[in-house]
Amino acid sequence: MSPEDQAQAEKTKSQAEGGTPKVRRGFLPPLPKIDPKDNVVFKSIIRHKLDQSPRNRTLAVVGNVFLHLHPPTINRDAVRYNYTWGMGGLTFWLFIILTITGVWLMFYYRPTKADAFNDIMYLANEVPFGKILRNMHRWAAHLMVIFVWMHMLRVFMTGSYKPPREFNWCVGVILLKFTLLLSFTGYLLPDDQLGMWAVTVGTNMARATPVVGHEGPLGPQIGATAFNDVRFALLGGSIVDSNALLRAYIWHCIGIPIVLSIFLIVHFWRIRKDGNISGPAPFKLRSDVEQAKPKQTMVKLVHAENAEVYEGK
């Protein structure tokens, strides 16, 4: 009998006896089943069961540094895009884009009068994708200013600045000012005629600042002059030259981003502590109204019957 016929006979005999056919195993033993969740690394990161029970879902949020930014429960109407416009989140993502593209631009830029403009031309014309990189940074900066204004308009129009969120509104106003300062200091960095005269006009306006400007109210009374007022401090001198370019570069790339990041952390923290995004004014959905109609009708009937009984007595 051939081996094939013998194997077929064993298979037929096994099926007749009600058992399973015997399968020939190879020389290698079977590989053990590996569960990716059953290891020390996974358990050190995800420390709670991934089921859908409310307790474990809450523990997973509280125990994760990224998920902990959001509260376990939120108002279902507060996350609608036709209410929030998504301006806060879009502004933050634009800030991330500006940070990434800004760091990349720093590899090709030198903040000196002799090199700044030439480095911008080299970046735009010689560096691969350099023009796209610079335009991404520039347009993201413009959009960030617009989105911050739109975000604050939405917060004001919906009354989201009211208690208990009045402190976070003040933090948002500070973030708006630092956003404008970021845009203003970055305007000088290309070291072209547009940036130079824009900074000249802006810093000349600073001369009229109360107390700290030598042309502003109370400035001369406290001894402010053209060589020690706020304009002199911003420019590092009395004209827009290399000192002004260096100071604008330091403020734009180091000073203001650090301060703005600190206030961003406070802003996000207060959003979570204040109950996440403020919801719209209380109103009932159509499904809620339809479910509440029988209860309201029954209550009215009960009150009416009580009133009739009382009047009858």
Query: pLDDT tens digits, residue range 88-111?
Result: 999 999 999 999 999 999 999 999
80-89, 239-248, 302-311: least confidently modelled range: 302-311
Share above pLDDT 70 across residues of the chain, in percent, rounded to a whole number: 77
Q: Report residue 83's pLDDT band, with 50, 70 and 90 as the boundaries.
A: confident
pLDDT at residue 34 greater than cutoff 60: yes
pLDDT at residue 123 greater than cutoff 60: yes
Task: Note the pLDDT of residue 164.
Answer: 87
Mean pLDDT, rounded, of the chain:
83
Domain boundaries, the chain: 40-69, 77-278
Task: Note the pLDDT of residue 105.
Answer: 96
Q: Report residue 298's pLDDT band, with 50, 70 and 90 as the boundaries.
A: very low
The CATH code of the domain at 77-278 is 1.20.810.10
Q: What is the average per-residue pLDDT within 147-173?
A: 93
Q: What is the average per-residue pLDDT within 185-213?
A: 93
Task: Note the pLDDT of residue 254.
Answer: 96
Task: Note the pLDDT of residue 60.
Answer: 75
Q: What is the average per-residue pLDDT within 25-54?
A: 71
Q: 243-284 pLDDT, tens per residue?
A: 999 999 999 999 999 999 999 999 999 988 887 888 776 655
Query: What is the SS3 assignment for the chain?
Result: CCHHHHHHHHHHHHHHCCCCCCCCCCCCCCCCCCCCCCCHHHHHHCCCCCCCCHHHHHHHHHCCCCHHHCCCCCCCCCCCHHHHCCHHHHHHHHHHHHHHHHHHHHCCCCCCCCCHHHHHHHHHHCCCCHHHHHHHHHHHHHHHHHHHHHHHHHHHHCCCCCCCCHHHHHHHHHHHHHHHHHHHHHHHCCCCHHHHHHHHHHHHHHCCCCCCCCCCCCCHHHCCCCCCCHHHHHHCCCCCCHHHHHHHHHHHHHHHHHHHHHHHHHHHHHHHHCCCCCCCCCCCCHHHHHHHHHHHHHHHHHHHHHHHHHHHC
